[in-house]
């Protein structure tokens, strides 16, 4: 039976998960150039991370947590105004993580080390290379339309599960607009002199951006994507959008034999081998996190989850 | 896995089969990220060309036979770099040109029929991944070249095709990736990652127009050769139609905005005219399993 969580418990779980995630060996594996993981592989790693401490989740709550994570991530990648902004989003995540462990210099150091590695690896990539990374990520999340209540409430997601793409607001820090917030056209003669300028309305309502976000270890990122969604605490739910023809492609993917399966399992074993998992000791009872309002609801959710959305987690014992 | 679709429809022309055949090729395509699919219309035949991370495939237009397979040489690329082919165009009535992630442009010599396809040349002017290639769709003025190649850095090269390809002009980058390009009556129309469309003289590389057309990355450009209509689609959910006017004798160039269409909550990935006059066009987008067709009311 789950007892009340105390602040000490919360801090413990937070620290454990962050320590595990930013473990040197794990990060070394992640930074090796490689293809994107399969959905199964990603879910397996995520499960392992979520259970890195004294917190436990049942299948249904784990599924829900993962759904939430994927939709939030999809939202952030999709809405990046410029391809390079996925790096700023990453930095926003790291800034928030650093704040969670600000009282633990050891863990803080690990996170900073990863931060530096990210800067070193990605700062020099071109817009085209970032766009390729972004497109690859978007293909991974294609056809996922799980409704998240926090997104529905904030009107960033429609009731059909698709995200709202605003056609007003600041243009990315590479676009020029003119005084009336319209887009415009300039013509030049053979001497290079501007001979004509026309403005035209598109139906959008754009404004000039303030400034570019910082790509340094510390700085104002300007971009809000990737900042803590729960800085104002509110309840969160996810809703399956029900079976639709789009989900048929998921079912097909699970059935077809993957010729790279062996290679992938080996890779996963290496990756998970770098995750130092602390199993709760004899006297520690551990805490179960239920993302539903009652235990019965959680059980019901596990039974009624659409088959197409099952993640088929791989169990790997990667002890060293 | 479906890649963000860049819609490419065959332009119907007399005596040639247009549109996609309902029959799938018998070869099971690898489940890798496919980058592009394009019809290459040559005087004697139409080939379907597919590019991916592994290489380049060419099929007969009904998809029944794969006539050619070209594997990409991974050794040519620096480690930790993605390897792929991207950018497809039929050129000079005889060649199919395909770009690669290393910046090379492969020129394939295509016989009127059969599978005896060879690499006749490799163009080495680009240092960044090729994004798009386009052949002249109208009438090139003298010395203007009939092929344009574009790369991730935003550099463009204009070529004259033939037994040996000649570089005609080089258009320098200005700090933004050029995602798509079209060539018509000696005018290069280039779409960029910062939402700009630029028009250049193909013969000299001179900038003639700069349009701040979109608020996000432009994914697609298409041109209707019989009217000079230009179509642009971008991540900002908008598709714009423009009118290019080009008088070959006076070499005057005009561009004006004709129409804007907002595909609500959709990042447009592909936009193509469905006819050579540009009276209708088709649009595809991320997370969209439908193709939207727009026509005159």
User: What's the whole-number mean pLDDT along residues A235-245?
Assistant: 50
CB contact under 8 A, A172 and B215: yes
Residues A1 and A92: beta-carbon distance below 8 Å:
no
pLDDT at residue B29 greater than cutoff 70 = no
pLDDT at residue A263 greater than cutoff 80 = no
For residue B281, list its beta bridge partners.
B273, B294
Is A156 among the domain residues? Answer: yes
- Chain B residues in contact with A252 by the CB 8 A cut-off are none
Distance from CA of B15 to the nearest CA of A (A): 37
Task: Determine the residue of chain B that is closest to A176 in CA distance.
Answer: B212
- A203: nearest CB among B33, B129, B262: B262
Distance from CA of A191 to the nearest CA of B (A): 9
CB contact under 8 A, B286 and A142: yes
Q: How far apart are CA A195 and CA A215, in angstroms?
A: 38
Residues B241 and B281: beta-carbon distance below 8 Å:
yes
Is A15 among the domain residues? Answer: yes
pLDDT at residue A259 greater than cutoff 70 = no
Q: B209-240 burial by CB neighbour count: b if 16+ within 10 A, else e? A: bbbbbbbbbbbbbbbbbebbbbbbbbbbbbbb
Is A312 among the domain residues? Answer: no
User: What region, left, alpha or beta, does residue B87 occupy, with left being phi > 0 and alpha being psi -120 to 50 degrees?
Assistant: left
Choose between B177 and A211: higher pLDDT: B177
Q: What confidence tier does A252 reach under pLDDT thresholds 50, 70, 90?
A: very low
How big is the A-B interface in CB pairs under 8 Å? 136
- A301 Cβ partners below 8 Å, 6+ apart? A60, A63, A64, A292
Is A260 among the domain residues? Answer: no
pLDDT of residue B69: 94
Mutate to test the interface with B, among A174, A178, A245 (most CBs of B within 10 A): A174
Q: What confidence tier does B13 reach under pLDDT thresholds 50, 70, 90?
A: very low
pLDDT at residue B25 greater than cutoff 70 = no
Secondary structure string (H, E, C) spanning B114-133: CCCCEEEEEECCCCCCEEEE
pLDDT at residue A4 greater than cutoff 90 = no
**Max avg pLDDT among A9-18, A86-95, A149-158, B23-32:** A86-95
pLDDT of residue A253: 39
For residue A211, CA distances in Å to A204, A208, A216 come to 21, 9, 15
pTM, full prediction? 0.84
pLDDT of residue A241: 47
Q: How far apart are CA B179 and CA B174, in angstroms?
A: 13
Residue pLDDT, tens place only, B255-273: 989 999 999 999 999 999 9
- Chain B residues in contact with A171 by the CB 8 A cut-off are 195, 215
Is A318 among the domain residues? Answer: no
- A240 Cβ partners below 8 Å, 6+ apart? A146, A305, A306, A309
pLDDT of residue B52: 84
pLDDT at residue A271 greater than cutoff 80 = no
User: What's the whole-number mean pLDDT along residues A54-81?
Assistant: 92
Domain that holds residue A161: 7-230
pLDDT of residue B17: 33
CB contact under 8 A, B286 and A78: yes
CB contact under 8 A, B216 and A186: no
Q: Which of A155, A27, A137 is nearest to B287 (CA)?
A: A137
pLDDT of residue B122: 97
Mutate to test the interface with B, among A82, A170, A202, A207 (most CBs of B within 10 A): A202
- B245 Cβ partners below 8 Å, 6+ apart? B228, B252, B253, B254, B255, B256
Residue pLDDT, tens place only, A69-84: 999 999 999 999 999 9
Q: Which of A284, A281, A300, A282 is nearest to A292 (CA)?
A: A300
| pLDDT over 90, % of chain A | 34
SS3 of residue B50 by DSSP:
strand
Distance from CA of A311 to the nearest CA of B (A): 16
Choose between A268 and A125: higher pLDDT: A125
Distance from CA of B61 to the nearest CA of A (A): 26
pLDDT of residue A243: 35
Mutate to test the interface with B, among A77, A183, A191, A256 (most CBs of B within 10 A): A183
Structure tokens at A274: 């770098």
Q: What confidence tier does A315 reach under pLDDT thresholds 50, 70, 90?
A: low
Could you give the number of structural domains in chain A?
1
Q: How far apart are CA A163 and CA A140, in angstroms?
A: 16
Is A170 among the domain residues? Answer: yes
Q: Which of A46, A42, A61, A45 is nearest to A2 (CA)?
A: A61
pLDDT of residue A298: 83
Task: Determine the residue of chain B that is closest to A205 in CA distance.
Answer: B215
Residue pLDDT, tens place only, B142-155: 888 999 999 999 99
Cβ within 8 Å of B, A 206-235:
206
pLDDT of residue A212: 84
Is A236 among the domain residues? Answer: no
Choose between A237 and A212: higher pLDDT: A212
pLDDT at residue A278 greater than cutoff 80 = no
Is A75 among the domain residues? Answer: yes
Location of structure tokens 């939430």? A68
């Amino acid at each position: 039976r789950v007892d009340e969580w105390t602040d000490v418990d919360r801090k413990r779980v937070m620290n454990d998960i962050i320590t595990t995630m930013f473990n040197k060996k794990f990060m070394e594996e992640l930074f090796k150039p490689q293809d994107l993981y399969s959905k199964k592989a990603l879910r397996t790693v995520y499960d392992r991370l979520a259970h890195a401490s004294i917190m436990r989740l049942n299948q249904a709550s784990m599924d829900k947590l993962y759904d939430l994570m994927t939709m939030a991530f999809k939202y952030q990648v999709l809405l990046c105004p410029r391809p390079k902004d996925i790096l700023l989003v990453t930095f926003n995540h790291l800034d928030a993580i650093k704040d969670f462990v600000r009282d633990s210099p050891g863990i803080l150091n690990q996170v900073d080390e990863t931060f530096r590695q990210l800067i070193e690896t990605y700062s020099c990539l071109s817009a085209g290379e970032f766009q390729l990374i972004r497109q690859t990520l978007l293909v991974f999340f294609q056809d996922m339309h799980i409704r998240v209540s926090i997104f529905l409430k904030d009107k960033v997601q429609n009731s059909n599960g698709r995200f709202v793409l605003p056609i007003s607001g600041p243009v990315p820090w590479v676009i020029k607009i003119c005084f009336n917030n319209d887009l415009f056209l300039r013509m030049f003669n053979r001497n290079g002199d501007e001979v004509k300028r026309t403005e035209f309305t598109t139906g959008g309502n754009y404004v000039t951006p303030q400034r570019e976000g910082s790509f340094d270890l510390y700085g104002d990122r300007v971009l809000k994507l990737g900042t803590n969604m729960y800085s104002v605490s509110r309840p969160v739910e996810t809703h399956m959008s029900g079976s639709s023809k789009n989900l048929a492609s998921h079912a097909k993917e699970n059935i077809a034999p993957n010729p790279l399966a062996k290679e992938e399992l080996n890779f996963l074993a290496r990756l998970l081998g770098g995750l130092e998992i602390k199993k709760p000791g004899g006297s520690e009872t551990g805490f179960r996190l239920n993302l539903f309002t009652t235990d019965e609801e959680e059980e019901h959710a596990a039974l009624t989850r659409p088959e197409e959305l099952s993640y088929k987690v791989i169990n790997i014992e990667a002890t060293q | 896995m479906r890649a963000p679709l860049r819609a490419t429809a065959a332009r119907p022309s007399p005596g040639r089969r247009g549109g996609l055949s309902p029959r799938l090729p018998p070869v099971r395509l690898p489940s890798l990220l496919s980058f592009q699919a394009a019809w290459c219309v040559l005087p004697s035949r139409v080939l379907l060309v597919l590019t991916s991370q592994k290489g380049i495939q060419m099929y007969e237009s009904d998809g029944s036979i794969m006539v050619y397979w070209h594997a990409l040489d991974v050794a040519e690329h620096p480690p930790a770099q993605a390897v792929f082919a991207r950018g497809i165009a039929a050129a000079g009535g005889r060649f199919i040109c395909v770009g690669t992630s290393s910046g090379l442009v492969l020129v394939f010599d295509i016989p009127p029929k059969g599978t005896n396809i060879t690499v006749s040349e490799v163009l080495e002017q680009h240092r960044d991944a090729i994004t798009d290639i386009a052949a002249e769709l109208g009438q090139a003025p003298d010395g203007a070249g009939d092929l344009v190649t574009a790369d991730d850095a935003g550099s463009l090269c204009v070529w004259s095709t033939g037994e040996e390809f000649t570089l005609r002009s080089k258009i320098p980058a200005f700090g933004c990736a050029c995602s798509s390009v079209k060539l018509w009556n000696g005018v290069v129309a280039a779409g960029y990652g910062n939402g700009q469309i630029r028009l250049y003289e193909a013969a000299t590389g001179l900038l003639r127009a700069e349009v701040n057309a979109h608020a996000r990355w432009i994914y697609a450009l298409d041109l209707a050769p019989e009217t000079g209509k230009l179509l642009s689609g971008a991540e900002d959910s908008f598709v714009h139609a423009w009118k290019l006017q080009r008088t070959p004798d006076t070499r005057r160039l005009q561009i004006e905005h004709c129409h804007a269409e907002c595909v609500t909550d959709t990042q447009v990935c592909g936009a193509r005219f469905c006819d050579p006059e540009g009276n209708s066009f088709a649009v595809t987008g991320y997370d969209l399993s439908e193709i939207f067709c727009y026509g005159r009311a």
